[in-house]
């Protein structure tokens, strides 16, 4: 299906690019004269200065994040990722995460440049954030311009600078930029913004190459994260609110219909992979999960307005039904935002568009949680969504300053000073957040302080303390995690490991016995008992326990790991260790530790 010409049939060579951006393209728009500054050879120095300031701010506020260590999922996505070990098997790189190959490809490229040092991956994240800041400026400038053509008076450069500068320094972005495993959120924002801008250019009279560029960028976004699936809806809303007029039938046939068909197919494929492969037999939709996501929207909106109480972990609200306070608050928030967007669709369509962008872009990640997986609230999910919220705020502020009676120079200077103060305050908070992310113990201690009744922060704080050798401090955190969630099998094993390393074998064995009392058939029980014996120096008894737990299934992973360690480090039998790692490789072909074990023992 080839995209065609639309809006008018005059040759593209007879129109300048900037004229297309300013001149009316459809009937019903008021005619806007193209100023001399919009000529093809002119440079809009004020806009250029605005975007440069915003982009530089986006880089400067993250300078103290460049030396942050690996955290949480970084161990799985980077350190344990065997597909990142050169020389690369590019098929393995692309299939490591079947639904997000672009993200892993970006890690592989980083690995070529920086090896496995976190510094290089942080540099890439910051550069992507700077690029996204520039794209946000371009988006806001053009949406404001479209709103002006639709009849709403706006200061385009003011809207663009305010939106992009707030996006650049807002502390809510720290989890996306500083957390390496959030690379997918950065990349999908890049693809989504770029695809939208290219599609808009095609709608306003660009050639077929703009249509093709938009489609290609959008497909890259889908291969990065499911958030990109909302692009067709965003384009349709933009068309309805800010374009209108003649030519809609052509746009429906040549733009909206094709990408909606692709989106439906891609969404069906993504759901199938999620249900049948990633979480086979473990997907269920519960009503309270939907209500928790409504509350999550409210909490995200509050974090954008006032970034207080940020954390790597946010416990979901306790909701028992539709009449629970958190459910009602979430429902009122979503309905209220939707109502405001509807009310402003004609008065100030750019605000309505921003609100809808915010709500719609949160849907894919919310759907994953509703299907029973992932965390209820994660700050990195707001990266793309916040663009709409910040755009709506910037348009509203600019619009308010242009109301009759508020046009004096004194008021506008006070507004500029207020914006500068807000940006400086947000920058300081972002700098402070980066300092928290620089230390895993501080990061998870903060999460424990904000969510004392959630098991996960206690468990991961225990892991962080254990990793630094603070075993004695880790034990009460593991105990607290078990008390809050007795069904967490891994917490018992981690507690037992910690106790065994402290040469407290009886207490370690008791931790495994506690697990056996709750989950008598857990595959962690024989592996845990073998681990306690091994760390206590009873090598042969440990081998018996590990082998007793082997079933020939995926549950053998932990026992096989310990058997490989036993044969290599304790029994000094590289051939047997190699064989164990081969067995392990059947279940974890992309695990870096397994491949390194094979390489070491093959040489020996």
Strand-pairing partners, residue 591, are 81
Looking at the fold, whether 424 and 571 belong to one and the same domain comes out as no
From the number of C-beta atoms within 10 Å of its C-beta (0-12, 13-18, 19+), residue 115 rates as exposed
The tens digit of pLDDT for each residue in 425-484 reads 999 999 999 999 999 999 999 999 999 999 999 999 999 999 888 989 999 999 999 999
Q: Quick count: other Cβ atoms within 10 Å of Cβ 572?
A: 10
Do 136 and 387 touch, CB atoms closer than 8 A?
yes
111: in domain: no
pLDDT-based confidence at residue 26 (cuts at 50, 70, 90):
very low
Looking at the fold, whether 563 and 423 belong to one and the same domain comes out as no
Looking at the fold, whether 470 and 422 belong to one and the same domain comes out as no
- In terms of pLDDT, which residue wins out, 147 or 280? 147
What length is written for the chain?
A: 604
Looking at the fold, whether 392 and 483 belong to one and the same domain comes out as no
In terms of Cα–Cα distance, which of 553, 502, 495, 571 is closest to 562?
A: 571
Number of domains, the chain: 2
Token pair of 388 as six digits: 């709409």
Q: Which of 37-46, 101-110, 282-291, 306-315 has the lowest mean pLDDT?
A: 37-46
39 has a pLDDT exceeding 50: no
pLDDT of residue 1: 37
Task: Give CA–CA dist 295/313, Å, rounded.
Answer: 15
pLDDT-based confidence at residue 152 (cuts at 50, 70, 90):
low
Specify the residue for token string 């207490």: 507
94: in domain: no
Do 602 and 594 touch, CB atoms closer than 8 A?
no
Mean pLDDT (the chain) is 83
27 has a pLDDT exceeding 60: no
- In terms of pLDDT, which residue wins out, 476 or 153? 476
In terms of Cα–Cα distance, which of 370, 364, 360 is closest to 337?
A: 360
Q: Which of 218-222, 465-469, 502-506, 588-592 has the lowest mean pLDDT?
A: 588-592
Q: Which of 414, 435, 456 is the last residue of a domain?
A: 435
322: in domain: yes
Task: Give CA–CA dist 379/385, Å, rounded.
Answer: 11
The tens digit of pLDDT for each residue in 227-262 reads 888 989 998 898 888 887 677 777 787 787 888 888
From the number of C-beta atoms within 10 Å of its C-beta (0-12, 13-18, 19+), residue 242 rates as buried
Strand-pairing partners, residue 81, are 591
Q: What mean pLDDT do residues 357-364 have?
A: 94
Looking at the fold, whether 371 and 494 belong to one and the same domain comes out as no
In terms of Cα–Cα distance, which of 270, 279, 278, 201 is closest to 235?
A: 201
**Cα-based distances in Å from 177 to 53, 382, 433, 566:** 19, 12, 11, 40
For 298-320, give one letter per residue: b (16+ CB within 10 A) or e.
Answer: bbbbebbeebeebbbbbbbbebe
Phi-psi bin for 31: left (phi > 0), alpha (psi -120 to 50), beta? beta
Looking at the fold, whether 538 and 587 belong to one and the same domain comes out as yes
CATH number of the domain where residue 474 is located: 1.25.40.10
85: in domain: no
Looking at the fold, whether 144 and 210 belong to one and the same domain comes out as yes
The tens digit of pLDDT for each residue in 543-574 reads 888 888 787 777 778 888 888 888 888 888 88
4: in domain: no
Q: What mean pLDDT do residues 85-108 have?
A: 80
The tens digit of pLDDT for each residue in 392-434 reads 999 998 887 776 666 667 777 888 898 899 999 999 999 999 9
19 has a pLDDT exceeding 70: no
**Its pTM surpasses 0.75:** yes
Rounded (10°) CA dihedral 144, 147, 148, 151: -160
Looking at the fold, whether 583 and 539 belong to one and the same domain comes out as yes
- In terms of pLDDT, which residue wins out, 371 or 241? 241
pLDDT of residue 274: 65
- φ and ψ at 144, to 5 degrees? -65, -40
22 has a pLDDT exceeding 60: no
Phi-psi bin for 155: left (phi > 0), alpha (psi -120 to 50), beta? beta
Token pair of 279 as six digits: 């979480």
414: in domain: yes
Do 389 and 354 touch, CB atoms closer than 8 A?
yes
Residue 408 makes CB contacts below 8 A (sequence gap 6+) with none
- In terms of pLDDT, which residue wins out, 45 or 62? 62
The tens digit of pLDDT for each residue in 277-314 reads 665 556 666 777 888 889 999 999 999 999 999 999 99
pLDDT-based confidence at residue 30 (cuts at 50, 70, 90):
very low
Q: Which of 160-174, 282-296, 399-413, 517-531 has the highest average model confidence (pLDDT)?
A: 160-174
HSE, side-chain direction, 13 A CA sphere, residue 146: 26
Cα angle 62, 65, 66; round to 5: 105
Looking at the fold, whether 408 and 513 belong to one and the same domain comes out as no
pLDDT of residue 130: 97
Looking at the fold, whether 246 and 158 belong to one and the same domain comes out as yes
Q: Which of 393, 419, 435 is the last residue of a domain?
A: 435
pLDDT of residue 333: 93
In terms of Cα–Cα distance, which of 321, 140, 165 is closest to 238?
A: 140
Cα 231 from chain centre: 16
Specify the residue for token string 């072909």: 589
The distance between the two most distant Cα atoms of the chain, rounded to a whole number of Å, is 87
pLDDT of residue 510: 92
Domain containing 553 equals 441-603
Looking at the fold, whether 459 and 374 belong to one and the same domain comes out as no
- In terms of pLDDT, which residue wins out, 554 or 171? 171
Token pair of 415 as six digits: 């507004």
The tens digit of pLDDT for each residue in 312-356 reads 999 888 888 888 888 899 899 999 999 999 999 888 899 999 999
Query: Of all residues in the chain, what percent carry a pLDDT higher than 70?
Result: 88
Q: Where are the alpha helices (DSSP H) in 519-573?
A: 524-535, 539-548, 557-565
- φ and ψ at 87, to 5 degrees? -70, 140
Token pair of 444 as six digits: 């998870």
Q: Quick count: other Cβ atoms within 10 Å of Cβ 63?
A: 11
- φ and ψ at 389, to 5 degrees? -65, -45
Residue 146 makes CB contacts below 8 A (sequence gap 6+) with 200, 238, 242, 243, 350
Q: Which of 412, 435, 458 is the last residue of a domain?
A: 435
- In terms of pLDDT, which residue wins out, 332 or 588? 332
pLDDT of residue 279: 57
23: in domain: yes
90: in domain: no
Q: Kindly write down the DSSP assignment for every residue of 86-150, as one continuous string.
A: SSP-HHHHHHSSTT-HHHHHHHHHHHHHHTT-HHHHHHHHHHHHHHHHHHHHHHHHHHHHHHHHT
Specify the residue for token string 């004609």: 346
Looking at the fold, whether 380 and 527 belong to one and the same domain comes out as no
């Amino acid at each position: 299906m080839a995209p065609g010409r639309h809006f008018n049939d005059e040759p593209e060579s007879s129109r300048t690019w900037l004229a297309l951006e300013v001149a009316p393209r459809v009937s019903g728009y008021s005619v806007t004269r193209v100023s001399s500054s919009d000529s093809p050879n002119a440079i809009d120095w004020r806009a250029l200065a605005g975007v440069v300031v915003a982009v530089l701010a986006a880089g400067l506020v993250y300078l103290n994040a460049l030396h942050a260590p690996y955290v949480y999922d970084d161990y799985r996505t980077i350190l344990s990722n065997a597909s990142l070990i050169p020389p690369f098997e590019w098929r393995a790189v692309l299939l490591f995460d079947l639904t997000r190959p672009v993200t892993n490809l970006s890690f592989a490229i980083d690995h070529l440049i920086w090896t496995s040092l976190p510094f290089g991956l942080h540099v890439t994240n910051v550069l992507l954030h700077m690029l996204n800041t520039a794209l946000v400026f371009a988006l806001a400038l053009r949406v404001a311009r479209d709103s002006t053509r639709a009849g709403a008076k706006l200061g385009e450069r003011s809207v663009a600078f305010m939106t992009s500068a707030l996006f650049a320094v807002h502390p809510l972005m720290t989890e996306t930029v500083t957390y390496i495993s959030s690379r997918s959120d950065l990349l999908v924002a890049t693809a989504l913004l770029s695809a939208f801008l290219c599609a808009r250019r095609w709608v306003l009279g660009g050639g077929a190459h703009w249509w093709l560029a938009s489609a290609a960028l959008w497909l890259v976004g889908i291969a990065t994260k499911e958030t990109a699936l909302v692009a067709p809806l965003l384009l349709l809303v933009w068309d309805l609110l800010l374009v209108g007029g003649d030519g809609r039938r052509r746009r429906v046939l040549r733009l909206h219909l094709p990408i909606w068909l692709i989106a439906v197919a891609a969404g069906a494929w993504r759901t199938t992979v999620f249900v049948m492969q990633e979480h086979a037999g473990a997907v269920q939709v519960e009503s309270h999960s939907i209500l928790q996501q409504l509350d999550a929207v409210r909490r995200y909106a509050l974090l954008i307005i006032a970034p207080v109480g940020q954390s790597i972990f946010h416990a979901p609200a306790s909701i028992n039904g539709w009449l629970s306070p958190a459910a009602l608050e979430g429902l009122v928030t979503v309905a209220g935002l939707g109502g405001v967007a509807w009310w402003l669709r004609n008065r100030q369509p750019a605000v309505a568009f921003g609100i809808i962008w915010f709500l719609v872009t949160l849907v894919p990640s919310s759907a994953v949680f509703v299907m029973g997986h992932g965390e209820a609230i994660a700050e990195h999910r707001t990266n793309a969504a916040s663009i709409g919220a910040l755009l709506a705020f910037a348009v509203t502020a600019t619009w308010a300053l242009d109301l009759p009676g508020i046009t004096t120079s004194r008021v506008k200077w006070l507004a500029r000073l207020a914006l500068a103060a807000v940006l400086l305050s947000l920058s300081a908070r972002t700098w402070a957040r980066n300092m928290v992310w620089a230390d895993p113990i501080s990061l998870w201690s903060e999460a424990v302080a904000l969510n004392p009744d959630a098991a996960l922060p206690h468990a991961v704080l225990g892991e962080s303390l254990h990793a630094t050798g603070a075993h004695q401090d880790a034990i009460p955190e593991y105990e607290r995690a078990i008390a809050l969630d007795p069904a967490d099998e891994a917490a018992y094993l981690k507690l037992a490991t910690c106790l065994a390393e402290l040469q407290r074998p009886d207490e370690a064995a008791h931790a495994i016995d506690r697990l056996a009392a709750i989950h008598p058939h857990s595959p962690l029980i024989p592996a845990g008992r073998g681990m306690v014996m091994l760390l206590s120096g009873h090598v042969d008894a440990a081998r018996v326990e590990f082998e007793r737990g082997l079933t020939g299934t995926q549950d053998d992973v932990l026992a096989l790991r310990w058997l490989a360690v036993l044969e290599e480090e304790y029994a000094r039998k590289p051939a047997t260790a190699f064989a164990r790692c081969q067995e392990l490789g059947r279940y974890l072909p992309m695990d870096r530790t397994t491949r390194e074990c094979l390489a070491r023992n093959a040489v020996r």
